[in-house]
Chain A
Amino acid sequence: MRAPLLRLEGLTKAYPGVVANDDVSFDIGEGQMHALLGENGAGKSTLVKMIYGLVKPDKGQMTLRGQPFAPSQPSQARRSGVAMVFQHFSLFDALDVAENVALGMENPPPLRDLARRIRDVSEEYGLPLDPARLVGELSAGERQRVEIVRCLLQDPKLLIMDEPTSVLTPQEVDILFLTLRKLSAEGTAILYISHKLEEIRALCDEATILRGGQKVATCDPREKSARELAELMVGQVLTPPERADKPKGDVVLQVDNLSLASNNPFGTSLKNISFTLRKGEVLGIAGVAGNGQDELLLMLSGELLAPSAQVRLKGAPVGHLGPNGRRALGLVAAPEERLGHAAAPDMSLTENALLSAARRKMLTKHGFIDWRKTERFADDIIGRFDVRTPGPHVLARALSGGNLQKFVIGREIELDPDVIIVNQPTWGVDAAAAATIRQALLDLAAKGAGVLVISQDLDELLEISDRFAALNEGRLSDTRPAKGLTVEDIGLMMGGAGDMHVAHKASA
């Protein structure tokens, strides 16, 4: 047993109405890779914020190498040798790499020396970086390198990594793991936060599992199966979604060689997109964030208009139709951003139900809203999708992310669409709710709808898709049957190896 580096004893932190951490105690050894596992809302973030000095615990204490440790702000934690790589990167787009690194250091050297040290460290750990580039131009993987290098330059004793792989391709994940193993071998302890169980089993030698703010277990993740860990995390037995293997029907949605400029200056334009979607089929589209997913959803939902014949719904050209026109013909969509895109934050659930369902559910009569009917419809969604809320009068912004997601996806499913497009359907949603949503999508497909799922969660896509494609820099790879695909295949598709197929076709 290695000597403990950081010991947490009885840490408790309560916010109005919720206890984020309740009497959490565990040790992190010197050079240990320690996983912190838990669902969204289990209290992982609050716990690391206390270690990093962003939040003060109400009760309990921490000791670092035997010394009392109570950082009142991040700079103090950094001086004590605690560094953190954030989930939502703490980077500044308009500043260059060296400046970004300097901002995260206590006493940065002059920028020229710093640039040299950045090069040295990035080479030593196999994380190539150009100090003079603007961070806004970097890919997600490169941005993460900036964060890691920023931490490494301070010789941390403990490196906290908050969901580091959620934005990386499988190949980038491998590089990250090599770096982390090297660091651990050199004596740096790593606190690794994730809900991806296979990763943790591959990487970590100890895991602490949080549920509802309390520690449920500390164990060796290599000795447990992913399933056992998941059940510890969720506190209930999970059933994988069921699917009926039925022959697929006619083509319901067809996109032909469509190129479309993004409406966002930092966005990705779509290039030569072609695919078909059949009745009863689930088509999964993978890709690292920012490769055109948002644009694809906007183009399919009708928020971005396309030449009419290049998007066909049940054979009819719909490219020129806006969202309402397409909804009337049976195509519905649920975008990634729940608050502000899928739902209006300051309107009630009833009102939000009305916004997309007015036509298909005939909730208006002679231009007037039938509130009774609308409220009943909202109630139906709440009941069927187990949305935890006091009632349909509650404002959308008052719901937790997972509950609101169940509501907005449920709202579209209840419209009995012929085609449904969803982007990141289970992003930030706890495992039980995610299972409900996936099952509902599969049920819809079983009833004969075409389902198109855009997601960055590969496990999810492999679980529910019949066919599979990946987006890379606005190009869509060829679609392939999901059965038999390995994570490596998908990684290559996401990295753009699919381009070769496109080139073949173009030359043929």
Chain B
Amino acid sequence: MILGSINPAVLFAALMVAATPILLAAIGELVVEKAGVLNLGVEGMMIIGAVTGFIIAVNSGSPFLGFIGAALGGMVLSLLFALLTQALMTNQVASGLALTLFGLGLSALIGQKYVGITPPRTPKLDLGPLSDIPFLGRAVFSHDIMVYLTIALVGGVWWFLKYSRAGMILRAVGENHDAAHALGYHVKRVRVFAIMFGGACAGLGGAYLSLIRVPQWTEGMTVGAGWIALALVVFASWRPWRAMAGAYLFGGVVVLQLNLQAAGVRIPVEYLSMSPYLITIAVLVIISSGKARGSLNAPGSLNRPFHASS
């Protein structure tokens, strides 16, 4: 019995860890896209976050400083994107792709001396008696703080977009930037802040990979996580909780297929490796095609450059 060797509590615990980096990047990109900007540089910002977080954590001995550094690293790279697309009015798609390539190259360069080093361990968050609950304790309450912060961040973003005035302005800018401008809102300022938030989140996601999930630095270690995050945002119809569900689904299938590989199932490894991507996309496509409005939920000004015409 193959599945008998897989412990569901351990599986769920591993799923949350596997989903966290993608979810971080996705929730950041969701805010960026809600503001009407398409930043395809998520992968690049993630890997820059992974390398800066790793270097700072190794040199300072503190994983928390590492995470802060990673957020700043991702944010600095996103500012380059903001400068290109918001000030110099370059094409967002081309700039985002360039950002990814640039991030991958730059991270390989600055990370050269750090290959093969083990980073300082990030401690588990001590939740006291909660961790002793059977099953749930192992599956849900035995993680590092970043897992919980990420869930809190999803809730925060959901609340911000739905209930806060600033969130409403951000949605307005993404929905119709000409109208927002006519009402006197600062389209570019809002967008730059959103881009910076997206960069910080992507950086955190990258650092989660290099400091906790793997934990090591290797060149190109994000292996497409940024692209999955981008796809999640679209298929989640720009809804935060749905993005979380998608990320957990993806994480779940990743973990499951790894377990199946280890258990020696007689399915070629290549098929198992591609399964998380296929299943996640298939499920989210079905969800978002259900209602006509789901697919029409895209921000109206997404990927349209804004020129203030007097």
* Residue ranges of A at the interface with B (Cβ–Cβ < 8 Å): 15, 46, 49, 53-55, 73-75, 78, 86, 88-95, 99, 102-104, 108, 265
A92 touches B179 (CB 8 A): yes
Specify which chain B residues have a CB less than 8 angstroms from the CB of A94 in the assembled complex.
171, 175, 297, 299-300
A93 touches B175 (CB 8 A): yes
Q: Which of B172, B175, B180, B184 contacts A75 (CB 8 A)?
A: B184
Cα–Cα distance between A92 and B179 once the two chains are bound (Å) = 7
A92 touches B310 (CB 8 A): no
A56 to chain B, nearest CB (A): 10
Cα–Cα distance between A75 and B292 once the two chains are bound (Å) = 37
**A95-B171, A102-B168, A265-B292 given. 15 additional CB < 8 A pairs?**
A15-B310, A54-B310, A73-B184, A74-B182, A74-B184, A86-B182, A88-B178, A89-B179, A90-B178, A90-B180, A93-B175, A94-B300, A95-B172, A103-B168, A103-B172
15 CB-based A-B contacts, threshold 8 Å: A54-B310, A75-B184, A86-B179, A89-B179, A90-B176, A90-B178, A90-B182, A92-B179, A93-B176, A94-B297, A94-B299, A95-B171, A99-B172, A103-B168, A108-B165
A135 to chain B, nearest CB (A): 10
Any A CB within 8 A of the CB of B183: yes
Specify which chain A residues have a CB less than 8 angstroms from the CB of B165 in the assembled complex.
102, 108
Residue among B292, B296, B299 having the largest count of chain A Cβ atoms under 10 Å: B296
Nearest residue in A to B163 (C-beta to C-beta)? Answer: A111
Any A CB within 8 A of the CB of B169: yes
A49 touches B184 (CB 8 A): no
A264 to chain B, nearest CB (A): 11
Cα–Cα distance between A78 and B182 once the two chains are bound (Å) = 12
Nearest residue in B to A15 (C-beta to C-beta)? Answer: B310
Cα–Cα distance between A91 and B179 once the two chains are bound (Å) = 6
B179 touches A99 (CB 8 A): no
Specify which chain A residues have a CB less than 8 angstroms from the CB of B297 in the assembled complex.
94
Known contacts: A15-B310, A55-B310. The answer to whether A95 contacts B183 by CB under 8 A is no
Cα–Cα distance between A55 and B309 once the two chains are bound (Å) = 10
Q: Which of B175, B178, B183, B296 contacts A74 (CB 8 A)?
A: B183
B211 to chain A, nearest CB (A): 38
B171 touches A90 (CB 8 A): no
A99 touches B168 (CB 8 A): yes
B175 touches A104 (CB 8 A): no
- Count of chain B residues with Cβ under 8 Å from any Cβ of A? 20
Residue among B168, B297, B299 having the largest count of chain A Cβ atoms under 10 Å: B168
Specify which chain B residues have a CB less than 8 angstroms from the CB of A92 in the assembled complex.
171-172, 175-176, 179-180, 300
8 A Cβ contacts from B180-195 to A? 180, 182-185
Specify which chain A residues have a CB less than 8 angstroms from the CB of B184 in the assembled complex.
53-54, 73-75, 78
Nearest residue in A to B301 (C-beta to C-beta)? Answer: A92
Specify which chain B residues have a CB less than 8 angstroms from the CB of A90 in the assembled complex.
176, 178-180, 182-183
Total A-B pairs in contact (CB under 8 Å)? 59
Specify which chain A residues have a CB less than 8 angstroms from the CB of B292 in the assembled complex.
265
B296 touches A265 (CB 8 A): yes
Specify which chain B residues have a CB less than 8 angstroms from the CB of A108 in the assembled complex.
165
Specify which chain B residues have a CB less than 8 angstroms from the CB of A49 in the assembled complex.
310
Cα–Cα distance between A92 and B172 once the two chains are bound (Å) = 6
Cα–Cα distance between A95 and B180 once the two chains are bound (Å) = 12
A113 to chain B, nearest CB (A): 14
Cα–Cα distance between A304 and B183 once the two chains are bound (Å) = 37
A89 to chain B, nearest CB (A): 7
Specify which chain A residues have a CB less than 8 angstroms from the CB of B185 in the assembled complex.
103
B259-285 interface code vs A (CB 8 A; 1 in, 0 out): 000000000000000000000000000
Specify which chain B residues have a CB less than 8 angstroms from the CB of A91 in the assembled complex.
176, 179
Specify which chain A residues have a CB less than 8 angstroms from the CB of B183 in the assembled complex.
74, 90, 103-104
A46 touches B168 (CB 8 A): no
Cα–Cα distance between A94 and B295 once the two chains are bound (Å) = 13
Nearest residue in A to B173 (C-beta to C-beta)? Answer: A92
Known contacts: A73-B184, A108-B165. The answer to whether A95 contacts B175 by CB under 8 A is yes
Cα–Cα distance between A91 and B183 once the two chains are bound (Å) = 10
Cα–Cα distance between A95 and B172 once the two chains are bound (Å) = 8
Cα–Cα distance between A92 and B181 once the two chains are bound (Å) = 12
B300 touches A93 (CB 8 A): yes
B192-207 interface code vs A (CB 8 A; 1 in, 0 out): 0000000000000000
Cα–Cα distance between A345 and B185 once the two chains are bound (Å) = 30
Residue among A55, A94, A99, A265 having the largest count of chain B Cβ atoms under 10 Å: A94
Cα–Cα distance between A86 and B179 once the two chains are bound (Å) = 9
Nearest residue in A to B292 (C-beta to C-beta)? Answer: A265
Specify which chain B residues have a CB less than 8 angstroms from the CB of A54 in the assembled complex.
182, 184, 310
Specify which chain B residues have a CB less than 8 angstroms from the CB of A86 in the assembled complex.
179, 182
Cα–Cα distance between A310 and B176 once the two chains are bound (Å) = 39
Cα–Cα distance between A15 and B310 once the two chains are bound (Å) = 9
B256 to chain A, nearest CB (A): 36
8 A Cβ contacts from B130-154 to A? none
Nearest residue in A to B296 (C-beta to C-beta)? Answer: A265
Closest 8 CB pairs of A and B: A74-B184, A90-B179, A92-B175, A90-B182, A75-B184, A94-B175, A73-B184, A92-B172
B291 to chain A, nearest CB (A): 12
Specify which chain A residues have a CB less than 8 angstroms from the CB of B176 in the assembled complex.
90-93
Specify which chain A residues have a CB less than 8 angstroms from the CB of B179 in the assembled complex.
86, 89-92
Cα–Cα distance between A104 and B171 once the two chains are bound (Å) = 14
